[in-house]
């Protein structure tokens, strides 16, 4: 199955992706994680993307499309995948349409006030795990014991930029995919577990069609 996780930053795409990967075995392709890895390794791409990412702006479409073209051709994508944080603009969605047909686009909907609260308390781990200061009272990851960190773009001004960028450039994808008949809306304001129950209903339907 080939799916996209759509939603504002902080909607919970990464958390759902971890659970989906565990249960359905789909490769988790996150453009944000890939860019952060490039940044850490100080590759040319990473150094180029850094200033956009820190400000909470989108890395130009041409760069992202080039990166995803290579990634989607990899062997592990042959039987399905889940895209997290891609596409984020109509240009990126049009590229994806040319290379593949999606089974579903899961639009995780969360009100902005909940999102701001989540992002401003977010603690991240390099292994992909995500926590919140309100409920996690340690600076260590429960899964791999690494030191947790606050993402540079989880600071207040960057959060505001990211939400503006989402509204202007990414939110139009909701209509784009609704028109194609693949959009599935998931209420994501409650707990990770509650959201995952809703996600499973959709993914189980798709799996039973295959």
- Measured between alpha carbons, how far is residue 159 from residues 2, 54, 113, 123, 181 in Å? 29, 10, 12, 14, 31
Examine residue 7 and tell whether it contacts ligand AMP (CB under 6 A): no
3-class state of residue 43 by DSSP: coil
Residues between 59 and 88 with contacts to ligand AMP, criterion CB under 6 A: 59, 64, 85-86, 88
Residue nearest to ligand AMP (CB): 32
C-alpha span between 210 and 2 (Å, rounded): 11
Pairing status of strand 104-109 against strand 2-6: parallel
Examine residue 188 and tell whether it contacts ligand AMP (CB under 6 A): no
Q: Which residues contact 100 (CB under 8 A, 6 or more apart)?
A: 2, 72
Examine residue 153 and tell whether it contacts ligand AMP (CB under 6 A): yes
The residue whose two tokens read 């995948």 is 81
Q: Which residue in 28, 118, 122, 162 binds ligand AMP (CB under 6 A)? A: 162
Q: How far is the CB of 68 from ligand AMP (least distance, A)?
A: 8
CB atoms within 10 A of CB 38: 19
Phi/psi-derived region of residue 202, left when phi > 0, alpha when psi is between -120 and 50, beta in every other case: alpha
Q: How far is the CB of 92 from ligand AMP (least distance, A)?
A: 6
- 122 catalytic? Reply is yes
3-class state of residue 106 by DSSP: strand
- 151 catalytic? Reply is yes
Q: How far is the CB of 137 from ligand AMP (least distance, A)?
A: 24
C-alpha span between 84 and 17 (Å, rounded): 7
Determine the interface stretch with ligand AMP among 38-46, 50-58, 115-123, 133-141 (rule: CB under 6 A). 50-58
Examine residue 154 and tell whether it contacts ligand AMP (CB under 6 A): no
Query: Which of these is catalytic: 2, 13, 118, 184?
Result: 13
Which residues are bridge partners to 4 per DSSP?
83, 105
- Binding string, residues 11-30; x marks residues near ligand AMP by CB under 6 A: --------------------
Query: Which of these is catalytic: 2, 36, 122, 184?
Result: 122
Binding site for ligand AMP (CB under 6 A): 9, 31-32, 35, 52-53, 56-59, 64, 85-86, 88, 92, 153, 162
Q: Which residues are catalytic?
A: 13, 88, 122, 151, 162
């Amino acid at each position: 199955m080939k799916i996209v996780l759509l939603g504002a930053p902080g909607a919970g795409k990464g958390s759902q992706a971890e659970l989906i990967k565990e249960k359905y075995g789909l490769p988790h392709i996150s453009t944000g994680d890939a860019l952060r890895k490039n940044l850490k390794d100080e590759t040319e791409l990473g150094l180029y993307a850094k200033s956009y990412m820190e400000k909470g702006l989108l890395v130009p479409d041409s760069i992202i499309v080039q990166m995803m073209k290579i990634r989607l051709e990899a062997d592990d994508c042959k039987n399905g995948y889940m895209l997290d944080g891609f596409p984020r603009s109509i240009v990126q969605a049009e590229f994806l349409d040319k290379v593949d047909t999606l089974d579903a686009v899961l639009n995780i909907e969360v009100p902005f006030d909940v999102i701001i609260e989540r992002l401003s308390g977010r603690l991240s781990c390099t292994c992909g795990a995500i926590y919140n200061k309100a409920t996690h009272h340690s600076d260590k990851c429960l899964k791999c014991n690494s030191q947790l960190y606050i993402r540079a773009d989880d600071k207040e001004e960057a959060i505001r930029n990211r939400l503006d960028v989402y509204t202007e450039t990414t939110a139009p994808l909701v209509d784009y995919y609704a028109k194609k008949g693949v959009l599935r809306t998931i209420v994501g304001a409650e707990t990770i577990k509650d959201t995952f129950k809703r996600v499973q209903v959709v993914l189980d339907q798709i799996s039973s069609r295959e």
